[in-house]
Chains A and B, each alone.
Chain A
């Protein structure tokens, strides 16, 4: 089955700096790569995603890049703010007869220091 590895497990940055989180996946059939943000006491929420036919996608301060050949994708957050502090999860999607199944990475706890 699919295996997704995520690094680093914790990341501490100063407000205004950039943060980068990296993931690798194993199944070349995976074709959709979302990123979820989980704030304290809440469930994960989708913040950005990318499909396998796209190399890069940007939404304001966040961007995701995908390298299908190397099977890795990354989340980039620029001009970090304290409200970016949360746990971030990457995932890779595979489809079976019943629907799209997500395999998640282990998570990255991002701390933005004011």
Chain B
């Protein structure tokens, strides 16, 4: 079974803090994705990575950055957290760029106060 894990299920941070969300997949997948999930808006793509040290912006990259130093790990960074970044964050991966099915982690619910 494919396993995608996220470092925290719940996180509470203060405005202005630097926040790291970590995602690890154990199936040697090439592509990894970060989404945020908000009620009524579905899942919106923040960033994705198709190889180590390679990244591309998704639909809503403002206020976020990412890091992929190892193939199995993809980190989402909020340089200076703001209250409008309170959301559920989901990580996903696919076997290869041509593969359609995305495997999701359980999500991290981030609250910024």
Contacts and interface: CB of A to CB of B under 8 A. Distances in A.
Interface of A: 1, 4, 6, 9, 32, 34, 36, 41-46, 49, 89, 93, 96, 98-107
Given A99-B97, A99-B98, A101-B48, A45 B104 contact: yes
Most-contacted residue by chain B among A9, A43, A105 (CB, 10 A)? A43
Contacts of B56: 96, 98
B105 A43 contact: yes
A101 B58 CA distance: 9
Interface residues of B, number: 31
A107 B40 contact: yes
Contacts, number: 69
Contacts of A43: 4, 90, 92, 104-107
A106 B97 contact: no
B43 A100 contact: no
Contacts of A104: 35, 42-44
**8 closest Cβ pairs, A-B complex:** A43-B104, A99-B97, A104-B42, A98-B50, A104-B43, A106-B42, A99-B31, A44-B104
A52 to B, nearest CB: 12
A89 B102 CA distance: 13
